[in-house]
Amino acid sequence: MSTQQAHPTLLIPGPIEFDDAVLQSMSHYSSLRRNSLYAAQALPIYLFHFLTPQPGDEVLVLHTGYFADSFADCFETYGVKPTQLKVKIGERPLLDEIEKALKEKKYKLITVTHVDTSTGVLSELKKLSELVHRVSPETLVVVDGVCSVGCEEIEFDSWGLDAVITASQKAIGCPAGLSISYYSGRAIESFKARKTPPGSYFASFKNWLPIMQNYEAKKPSYFATPSPQLIHALHTSLTQILSIPLSERFAKHKATSQKIKKAVADLGLKQLAPNPADQANGMTAIYLPEGVKAAELLPNLVKKGVIFAGGLHKEIATKYVRVGHMGVSVMDEGRGDVEKAIEALGTGLKEVGYEKA
């Protein structure tokens, strides 16, 4: 039985609903025996950002919504020159356009938002990475996996990815506060080969690599204080995730996503991403029908016990809403979160005056 107080079901694209066991792990005392926690994980998990490019470097940013603009802003802050490949809202750059761009200029790295939380657009990583390795083999492939790691298929090594940057609070199912990243050997080499010092103090390989190396060598060392509680909760959620084959987890997210997307279509509503192949499996971004305001619909849904998110893409923020379907809300069917969401959306729309044409 849940020890959590009754509360409206949080169905936004992160933070998500968390499993009881994970939340209870948060209330663990501070343990300094972090080694045992780390060692229990099969995956290399390191907690910092990726800042390989040097000032003046050119990078190619594939734009599928808000988070590409964030990537570009971030690069500009550090003197790196982003070129954005933009498309219409709900679409993603085509491989042909990307190939053309890669041939026009030498890019230090290319970034792709695997799932853009602002639009629900899913990018295709495998073919993209093949293309980059073929056309511009020195360009690093950097993936924003914030809304995809844990609910979308990613094969880091076999797809030849160089960096996947994610966070704890979405499909990984651990409360917000951890930045979790994966890097290829050549990404690390690229960092080591840089000629200018890193432009960030905290989010820097320079300060964290020695800590990781000492960790591997079982030597104590210090740069900054981690959060034992968050790491404890992460350990619990990763243990749960790895308790069944990942393929099952991804299939379940896909099936649940299909169910929600069918309900949306049955209501006569359209998604931001019109092409099924470009639709995320952990969230759905839905255009509101003519005359329905998010400011009316969302509070109505809260009264029914479910929380959806408003729009985030600047140009159309008031015209759509977003539903998250990741983690326990998908994997623990007994909670009934998804049915509750579908039911609430249908009756909620009716109550604010919408009738299917």
- Answer yes or no whether residue 305 interacts with a second copy by CB under 8 A: no
- Answer yes or no whether residue 5 interacts with a second copy by CB under 8 A: yes
- Answer yes or no whether residue 77 interacts with a second copy by CB under 8 A: yes
Sign of torsion, CA 154 155 159 161? positive
80 versus 269: smaller Cβ distance to a second copy: 80
Q: Which residues are annotated as a binding site?
A: 322
- Answer yes or no whether residue 34 interacts with a second copy by CB under 8 A: no
Give the C-alpha separation, 330 to 334, whole Å. 10
Rg (CA), the chain: 21
Q: Which residues are annotated as a binding site for substrate?
A: 322
77 versus 347: smaller Cβ distance to a second copy: 77
Quick one: which of 314, 357, 322 has its CA closest to 341? 322
Question: What six digits make up the tokens of 172?
Answer: 């990984």
> Looking only at residues 263 through 282 of this chain, which bind a second copy when binding is defined by CB under 8 A?
none
Helix, strand, coil % in the chain, rounded to nearest 5? 40, 15, 45
CA distances from 261 to 23, 184, 325 (A): 29, 35, 11
Q: H helices of 54-184, where?
A: 66-77, 95-104, 125-135
Amino acid at 176: A
- Answer yes or no whether residue 131 interacts with a second copy by CB under 8 A: no
Task: Return the residue of 197, 245, 291, 334 that touches a second copy, per CB under 8 A.
Answer: 197
> Looking only at residues 201 through 220 of this chain, which bind a second copy when binding is defined by CB under 8 A?
201-204, 220
Task: Return the residue of 60, 292, 307, 345 that touches a second copy, per CB under 8 A.
Answer: 307
208 versus 354: smaller Cβ distance to a second copy: 208
- Answer yes or no whether residue 177 interacts with a second copy by CB under 8 A: yes
Buried b / exposed e across 276-309, counting CB within 10 Å, b at 16+?
eebbbbbbbbbbbbeebebeebbeebeebebbbb
- Answer yes or no whether residue 175 interacts with a second copy by CB under 8 A: yes
- Answer yes or no whether residue 227 interacts with a second copy by CB under 8 A: yes
Task: Return the residue of 199, 214, 316, 346 that touches a second copy, per CB under 8 A.
Answer: 199
* Count of residues that interact with a second copy, criterion CB under 8 A: 49
310 versus 346: smaller Cβ distance to a second copy: 310
Task: Return the residue of 121, 230, 263, 330 that touches a second copy, per CB under 8 A.
Answer: 230
Look at strands 109-113 and 140-144 and give their pairing. parallel
Q: How far is the CB of 330 from a second copy (least distance, A)?
A: 16
DSSP, collapsed to helix, strand or coil, labels residue 156 as coil
The stretch near a second copy (CB under 8 A) out of 155-163, 260-268, 284-292, 305-313 is 305-313
Q: Is 8 exposed, middle or buried (0-12, 13-18, 19+ CB in 10 A)?
A: middle
- Answer yes or no whether residue 236 interacts with a second copy by CB under 8 A: no
- Answer yes or no whether residue 1 interacts with a second copy by CB under 8 A: no
- Answer yes or no whether residue 150 interacts with a second copy by CB under 8 A: no
- Answer yes or no whether residue 23 interacts with a second copy by CB under 8 A: yes
Task: Return the residue of 31, 35, 41, 318 that touches a second copy, per CB under 8 A.
Answer: 31
Segment holding 187, helix H or strand E: helix 185-192
Please answer whether residues 89 and 315 qualify as being in contact, where contact means their C-beta atoms are separated by less than 8 angstroms.
yes
Please answer whether residues 113 and 246 qualify as being in contact, where contact means their C-beta atoms are separated by less than 8 angstroms.
no
- Answer yes or no whether residue 57 interacts with a second copy by CB under 8 A: no
Q: Binding residues for a second copy, per CB under 8 A?
A: 3-5, 7, 10, 12, 14-18, 23-32, 73-74, 77-78, 167, 169, 175-177, 197-204, 220, 222, 225-230, 307, 310, 312
